[in-house]
Structure 1
């Protein structure tokens, strides 16, 4: 039986909420790295601007309904379940009924409050890399369950792995970009914990400007951004490939590229990665190109390609392969790797009418 529990402003969660994933992932080679204290804190913060309802049987399924004030779309997130269609039909029926009663027209997910946190499902069999940091991972039956519940993909994404053997071709194709970097009217500022502190307020504004028009994007308060992206986060970035672009005349930040090694093989759990400490321990050096973007006022100037070219300056000496992570399938950033041999993993965000 599904228990329905609206969360008060404290956003408190039962202990079983964090036990269900153990049952779901116990026989899989990957699992969601959940920081219980961070999730509890996030629910407390989000309960001040969303109505939140938890649907669970405390053993085999958990499902969170997220009802933003205003708008026509409600969301579901933190969905973890065994392969039980009947149980999910009951939970989603109750969630959909609540959404209809509150005037929402569509239900979308999985999305854990906003796109700064986990969202989307991985489709198909696991790729050769198994999983990387913050990649959507889930049992392979999840997409089929959602399909049988009436959901269809509304946004699609992909990750592309490029092997070392392809890298010389990449350099040949981008040779003119590499040569042109020094002539651009921009300063390339390597991202380290020190430079992150220096530009922290401007970084928040830059991220808002770059990504606010993206589908499914929802703004978050600056304080919540700082909880996620801060000098501790910067410590895991690769300082040789992660960079800020600053327009030289006015000193304005106009683009960013956030890259770091795939630390997943080290099984660090809740221990925050540190590039200087953990990079030498990696059995395989895989670079994750995670977040790359250009301010809207500076687009159509080939800056996306310039960011990629900057990353390649150090790539051959430091890494064996690269994964361009979680790019929206209709996004311009995909073009940087078009035509190159790649292993592709696909993902989707799902939606249905209520």
Structure 2
């Protein structure tokens, strides 16, 4: 059932409107909220999921036009209807141009209300179905925003989560839809940054655990924030395009021999120049960065796989396992065996 809020400064009109047979007999709509001005309505909209707002235009404190502007700016409701006197039609027209769904002319008739509800039900049912059918373009946009560390990803995903939860027939459906979305977005990210599989537990990162109904949206938002943090935690965030490209090349070359000379040759620059520029832009030496990425890869494999320590050392181009263990302890504070016992106690060495 869709919830309605009536906003009018005259209580007697709100009572009359609620008594209309079109509302009383409707199986799809229920008047659940009332407000006497736009400010009260806005507060209710920010705290509750309201599907439809029927609002007067001229009201004290905050009028209908200003209320509509807030609703659109904050994406609070997808169906706003104006109540208009004939003399106020220019305001109603302005509201339609701003994105209002429709208007009712006072005095309002039961037939007009019934026709309005039929049109609104069609709009809202289509809107609800659309939340459960996120397009590939939307998924690609989310993935790109995540990789760009753009906060718009958080805002967009928050809106999608609220839409899915509000339109789903149950918690299981909502969780399944959000988990599927997370999995698909993760696949798009990994297609462009495949090296992440060597650095983090991607299966866990791109999954959503069951949770109570009132926590689904917040948990999904927290998960998106976690994804953004981990996806971008290894790639250097610098303005210099050359150093950014070198960082990307290092991440794509985890299983290969990596040297300053090989990176200089790959990017057609002088070795000494690259060394100086890298230190200047990042505050660390090139090999310190390479070793930090290798150690992050080692941490992931030690904690999440049963690979032998000498195998991990060899794959990361450390020919001496003892030297690898020394570097690992300097980086983490633990020997590889101690780190495995700490993070993956069920596996022995």
Which structure has the highest helix share of the two?
2
Which structure has the highest strand share of the two?
1
Structure with larger RCO (C-alpha < 8 A, sep 6+):
1
Fold conserved between structures, TM > 0.5: no
Between structure 1 and structure 2, the one with the greater Rg is 2
TM-score range, shorter chain: under 0.3
How high is the TM-score relative to the length of structure 1?
0.24
